[in-house]
Structure 1
Amino acid sequence: MNVFSRCLLACWGLVSLVGCQEPPQDSNTRSRGFIYCGQKTPTTFNPQLTDSGLTADTLAAQLFDRLLQLDPVSHQPLPGLARSWEVSDDGLVYTFHLRSGVEFQRTPWFTPTRPFNAQDVVFSFKRIIEPNHPFYKVSGGRYPWFESIGFRHLIDDIRMTAPDTVTFTLNRPDNAFLSNLATTYAVIYSQEYGQQLLKAGQLDLLDMKPIGTGPFYLDEYVPNDLIRLKRHWGYWRGASPMEQVVFDIASHGTGDLAKLLSKECDVLSSPVASQLPVITDHPDFELLAQTGMNVAFLAFNTDNPSLANPEVRQAINAAINRDNILNSVYYGTGTKAKSLLPPMSWAYNHGSQALDYDLTLAKQKLKHAGIEPGMTMTMLVPMDPRPYNPSPKKTAELIQSDLAAIGIKLNITLDRQERISAITNNYDMVLTGWIADNGDPDNFLRPLLSCDAKQAGLNIANWCNLSFDNLLELASRTNQLDQRVSYYHHAQNIIDEQVPIVPLAHGVHFQVHHRSLGGLQMSPFGTRSFSSVYRSEK
C-alpha cells in the first residue's frame, strides 16, 4: 500500500541526504538548549505527508506555523499567521487577513528575500489538492490526513486577493473547516523556497530540508541518533530563549528512563505508566499530566469474511474486559472508553448502548453467528507506547487472554508501524489509537471511519457505511448545535451497533522534565511548541 511505501521511500531519502555524525556532548547541549527523549526516527519532516509520529506530534510545531491555532481549553480556533478572518453568510467563502512582517527561516540552504504572504498559503494548500501542482506527486503524492477528511473535494478554489489576504471557497458548508486549518497538518511552506527547488530540480528537498516560519529550523539530522533544531532569530512571536533543541531518537543503547535519570535527557515524552512512581519520587524531575483528546481502540478488518458479520464483532467486543486493561496497563490513569469520542467532547453520547464486558453474551453471539471454538485470528500491535496506550504489548496480551475464553486463538505480531494499510490488510485486527488534532468531533469520526478515510488508508477497519457518512455530512452543514449533537449521537449509535472498532480507553498524556526547565506546555491535541521553554539553572 502506498502510505507504507511512501514512508519507506521518504525515510531512505532522508538518510541519503545526511552524513553520519556523532551525537552532541550532553553538557554542551544542556548549556544552550535541552535534549528531548521518547520519540522515534521520523519518516518525513513534512506533516502533510503523514498521520502520526514525531513529525506530526512534535516537530511540526517547532518548524512551522499555521493560519490558525487552537485554544487548549475551549478548543476554539485562534489567530495564528492569520490575524483575523470572515465567513460569508452561506458558509462557503472564508477570507483570511494575514500578519505582516513574518519572516521565514534562514538556513545554509535558503535565504528568503521577502516575508510571508498570501502566495505561501496558496502554494501550501494547492500542493495538496491540485494534481497538476509541481509538488503534488513529490514524496509519493499522498496526503493521508487530508484525504481522510475529503479536503480536496471540499475546496473549490484558493486565491490570493491581496498580498495579505487569501480566500478559500468551499463546495459546501463545513463547520469543521476552521478547526481543520488549525491542525498540525495545515502547515505553511515558503513558495519562494519551492520555486528555488523547482529551478534546481531538487523538489524532494522541500520535505527533507523544510523551510517554515516556526520558532526553530532543522539544523542536523542523523537517522536513528538525533535531530537538532536551531533557534529562528526572526521568529515573529520573539526568538526562543533556547538556542537549540536536540531530539534523541537513538534506537539502541540505554532506555529512555535511564537516560532521564542519568541526565542524558532533559525531557521524556510519554513515560510508561509503570515508571511514574519512580519519576514522582525523584526530586530532580517534574511530572506534567494532560487529559488527552485521544482513544485507544481495536480495529477489525471488516474485509475479512469472518469479521464481515457484525455479530462476530459484537461478540469480541463483549469478550474484552476493559476494566482489567485499565488496572493492568494504565494503572488507574485512564478512562474506560465507550465511544471513539472522549467524555470531554461536546458531542459525546452519554446515553450510549454500546456493549460492555459480558462473557456469556459473547459466547452466545459467536454461537449464533456459526463460529465454533478453535477459530484462529491475527492482530497487529505497535511496539511503542503512546499517550492513548502506555503498553500496547501488554494490552494485546490481555485481549489475547480474553478471546481465548470464548474459544478464539489470537496470534500477535509486534511492529513499529501504525495504521499502515499495506500491512494491516494482512491482519484480522489492529491495536491502535488516535490523538485528536482539534476539538471538533468530526476529527475523530471522519478520519477513522468514513468512506474517504478507507480510500486514504486511515480507516484500517476498511468499513464504509453510507448512513454513517451521511450523518457526518449533515452535521458539518448545520449551524444548529443541538442538531449537530443529534447527528453525531446517531453516528455513534451506528458504531455501537455495527462495531467496526472496539473503543478501549482514553489515556492521560504524561511528560516529565528536569526541574531546571520552565515554559513547557502540554496540549490535549498532543502537539506543542517549545518557543517559550527556558532553563532557570545550569
Structure 2
Amino acid sequence: MKGKMLAYLLVLALLVTMVSGCGGTGTTAKTQPDKPVKDLIVLAINADMGSLDPLHTSTIVDNMIFKNIYDSLVNNDKSGGFVPSLAENWTVADDGVSYTFKLKKGVKFQNGEEFKASDVVFTVNAAMKSPYLASIMDPIKDAAALDDYTVKFNLKYAYSPFLLVLTRIYMLNEKAVTGAGNNYGQNPVGTGAYKFVKHDSGQRVVLERYDGYFNGPAPIKNVEFKVITDSNTTQIALESGEIDFAFGVPAISIQGIKANKALATHEFDAIHLTFVILNNTVKPFDNKLVRQAINYAIDKDALIQIVLEGMGKNAQSILNKLTFGYSENIKGYEYNPEKAKELLAQAGYPNGFKISFKTMDGPLKKGAEVIQENLSKIGVTTSIEMCEQNAFNKDMMSGNYEMGNMGITLIQDADSWDLVLKTKGGYNWERYSNPKVDELFSQGKKLTDKNERLAKYEKLVQIVNDDAPLVPLFHKMGIYFSRKDLKVGYIDASGYLKVAEMSWEK
C-alpha cells in the first residue's frame, strides 16, 4: 500500500423540499443538502503488499487484499461448513477421489472476460507449480474442463481437507495472467467485488467497486488499504478518523478503545500462531538440545501479558483448538530457565552464545524485546535487527537469518502445516527435516477416518514438539476495530473479511 496521498470527497446531494407554515402564512419551498453519503473506506494494514499474484505470495497482508479482488470456487461459512462461491454446486464420487463442480454462468472477470472452466484448469495447473501453493495442491492429480461450465478434479487419493484447500485457491483469468507476464502481481484481475486501481509503494493500495460483480455491486465504492507500520500511529489514526478500520492496535490500548463511543470492536476466534523461527541449518540451532533450551527459556505467559495484555493463549504446540488435529494430550515446554541452562551445557554452550534476532515493528518488536530479556538469563545474547515485512520474508525464504519471530495463519487442518514443517514445504523457512514427520504428513492426508487422522497428527505434533524446530509462543484472540457507524460482516477464523460485506450506516 504505497505512494501519494489522495483524498476522496464524493458527495451525493439530495434535494428535499420542505414546506413550513407560521400563523397561517405559507413560505417559499426551500431545499437543503442531506447528510453526505460515505463512499470511501480506509483500512489500515501494518505492512506494504508484496504482490497481488496469489501464485507468488501468501502473506497475511496480501491475502487481506486478495479477498476483495478474487473469488474461490467455495467459501467457508460461519458454521465451519462450505458454501458455493464461483461454483453453483458440486458432487463427490463414492470413492472420494473426484469432485465435479458446476460453475455459475455469466460471471465476468474485471477485464470483461467470462469466467469458464478453462480458467479453473489454468489456475490449478499454475498453482501446482507455485512454490507457495504446491504443497497444498499435492493431493490433486489434475483438473479437466468437461464443458465451459463444468470442471472435474481428479485426486491422487481421497483427501478430507480438499474443499478447505479450495477456499484458498483464487481463480485467475488466463488471458490477464499471460498478457501481463511478470507484471501481473501489480496488475491483478479477478472476479471479485473490487478491481485494482493502483499501488502507491509503501503507502497504500487503492481499489474501486466492480459494478459487474456477480453478487451485485458492493455498498462502498472506494477502498484504500493504507500502510501504517506502527501500531501506536494506527490507534491515533483510528481515533482521529483518518482511518475507518484497523486490523490491530497496541494491546494496552484495547480497553480505552472499547470505551470510546465513536468506535467499535470486533472479536472473533482466530487460528493465528505467533512463534519464534529458528534456522535449523546454522549453528547453534542445528543442535536439538539448543532448540529445546530456547523453548524452555521463554516465559510465554509473561509474553502474553506484556504484548497482548492477556488476550491470548499459551501455545502448547503449533495447533490450537480450532484446528483439526489438535489434541489436549500434547503438552508444550514450561518456562524453566534452569533446565534451559542444563541443555545448553549438554550441547556444548555452558556460557551461552551470541545470536541475531530479526523482527518487525509493532507487537513483534515488543515480543522480541521480551524474548531478548528472557534469553539473557541463560547466557544467550541477542541483537535485534528490525526489518520491513517484505525484506523479512525474503530473508526467511533465503535462509539469511539465525532467529526471528513472526505470525502465521493457515487453514483449519493440521495437514496445512506440511507447508511449514515438511522437508520440501513451501514455507519451511526454518529448514527443518525429519523423515518421520514427512511420512506422517503423507499418511495423514490420505486417511478418511476422522479418528485415525487425529491419532496420526497427535503423533506428528509430539515429534515436532520434541524436535523443537521453532518455538510456538501464543495463539492470540482475534480483535479488529472500526468506526461505530461502519457495519462489518463475517470475519473468518483466519481473520479475513470482505469489504463487500461492509457498509456505512445511513
Provide the residue aligned with 1:335 in structure 2: 313
Q: In structure 2, do the counterparts of structure 1 residues 81 and 27 end up closer, same or farther at CA, with 3 Å as the change threshold? A: closer
Q: How does 1:518-537 map to 2 (within 5 A)?
A: 518-537=487-506
Deviation at 1:27, TM superposition (A): 7.3
Using the alignment, how far apart are the partners of 1:281 and 1:424 within structure 2? 45
**C-alpha distance in 2 between matches for 1:182 and 1:301:** 31
Q: What residue number does 1:426 align with?
A: 400
> How far did residue 53 of structure 1 move?
3.7
Distance change in 2, residues 1:442/1:379 (3 Å): same
Please give the secondary structure, in 2, of the residue aligned with 1:305.
Answer: coil
In the aligned structure 2, how far is the partner of 1:159 from the partner of 1:423?
Answer: 33
The Cα of 1:233 is off from its aligned counterpart by 1.4
Q: CA deviation at 1:160?
A: 0.4
The match for 2:222 among 220, 244, 247 is 244
Instruction: Letter of the 1:211 partner, please give it.
Output: V
User: CA offsets, 1:251-294, max 9 Å, x none?
Assistant: 69992222212211111122221221231121100011112111
Match of 2:292 in 1: 314
- Is 1:72–1:524's contact at 8 Å kept on the other side of the alignment? no
Q: 1:34 aligns with which of 37, 41, 47?
A: 41
Query: Structure 1 431/402 Cα, relative in aligned 2: closer, same or farther at 3 Å?
Result: same
Q: Radius of gyration: which is bigger?
A: 2
The DSSP-based 3-state class of the residue aligned with 1:48 is coil
Taking the aligned partners of 2:344 and 2:37, their CA distance within structure 1 comes to 58
* Alpha-carbon offset, residue 475 of structure 1: 1.1
CA distance in 1, matches of 2:333, 2:61: 35
Q: What is the match of residue 92 of structure 1? A: 97
Note if contact 1:38-1:249 (Cα within 8 Å) is conserved in structure 2: yes
2:91 is aligned with what amino acid? Answer: E
- 1:129 equivalent in alignment to 2:103: no
Distance change in 2, residues 1:26/1:247 (3 Å):
farther
Q: What's the CA shift for 1:42?
A: 1.0
Secondary structure (helix, strand or coil) at the match of 2:479 reads strand
The match for 1:440 is 413
Distance 1:46-1:160 versus aligned 2 partners, 3 A rule? same
1:102 aligns with 2:80: no
Q: State the 1:298 CA deviation.
A: 0.9
Q: Aligned to 2:284, what secondary structure does the other structure show?
A: helix
2 CA distance for matches of 1:30 and 1:407? 60
Return 503-512 or 86-95, whichever deviates more.
86-95
Count of residue correspondences: 480
The Cα of 1:423 is off from its aligned counterpart by 6.8
**Per-residue displacement from partner, 1:204-225 (whole Å, max 9, x unpaired)?**
3433222111111112332223
| Paired position in structure 2 for 1:23 | 6
Structure 1 residue corresponding to 2:451, chosen from 466, 469, 482: 482
User: What are the equivalent positions in structure 2 for 1:346-361 lying under 5 Å apart?
Assistant: 346-361=324-339
Check whether the contact 2:315–2:472 (CA below 8 A) recurs between aligned residues. yes
2:199 maps to 1:233:
no
- From the superposition, tell whether residues 21 and 381 of structure 1 become closer, same or farther in structure 2 (CA, over 3 Å): closer
- Is this contact kept in 1: 2:55–2:126, CA < 8 A? no
Kindly report the root-mean-square deviation, in angstroms, between the aligned alpha carbons of the 2 structures: 2.3
Change in CA separation of 1:422 and 1:329 when aligned onto 2, cut-off 3 Å:
closer
Partners of 2:431 and 2:332 in 1: how far apart? 21
**Counterpart Cα distance in 2 of 1:423 and 1:104:** 32
Unaligned 5+ segments in structure 2 are 12-35
Query: What residue is the counterpart of 1:267 in the other structure?
Result: 245
Structure 2 letter corresponding to 1:104: F
Distance across 1 between alignment mates of 2:497 and 2:284: 42
State how far apart, in whole Å, the 2-side matches of 1:162 and 1:382 are. Answer: 48
Query: For the residues of structure 1 that align with 2:128 and 2:414, how far apart are their CA atoms?
Result: 24
Shift, 1:498, TM fit: 0.8
Structure 2 residue 366 is matched with structure 1 residue 394: yes
Matched residues in 2 for 1:255 and 1:469: separation? 43
TM-score, normalized by length of structure 1?
A: 0.84
Q: 1:401 offset after TM fit, Å?
A: 1.2
Is 1:294–1:433's contact at 8 Å kept on the other side of the alignment?
A: yes
The answer as to 2:65 corresponding to 1:66 is no
The code of the aligned residue for 2:412 comes to G
Q: How does 1:17-416 map to 2 (within 5 A)?
A: 21-25=4-8, 31-56=38-63, 58-74=64-80, 76-105=81-110, 110-112=111-113, 115-129=114-128, 143-149=130-136, 151=137, 153-183=138-168, 186-194=169-177, 197=179, 202-249=180-227, 255-383=233-361, 385=362, 391-416=363-388
In the aligned structure 1, how far is the partner of 2:404 from the partner of 2:177? 38
The aligned counterpart of 2:18 is none
Which amino acid is the alignment partner of residue 97 of structure 1? Answer: K
Contact 1:271/1:510 (8 A) holds in 2: no
1:89-135 Cα distance to aligned partner (Å, 9 max, x none): 33322211111122222xxxx343xx3210111122222336xxxxx
Matched residue type, 1:244: N
Structure 1 unaligned residues grouped into runs of 5+: 1-10, 131-142, 386-390
Identical positions, percent: 24
* 8 Å contact kept, 1:299–1:501: yes
Q: Spell out, residue by residue over 1:442-467, the C-alpha distance to the aligned partner (whole angstroms, 9 max, x if none).
A: 12x211111121xx3x1121101111
Q: How far apart are the structure 1 equivalents of 2:242 and 2:9?
A: 6
Residue type of the partner of 1:248? K
Q: Which residue of structure 1 aligns with residue 27 of structure 2? A: none
Tell me what 2:22 maps to.
none
Contact 1:225 1:251 in 2 (8 A): no
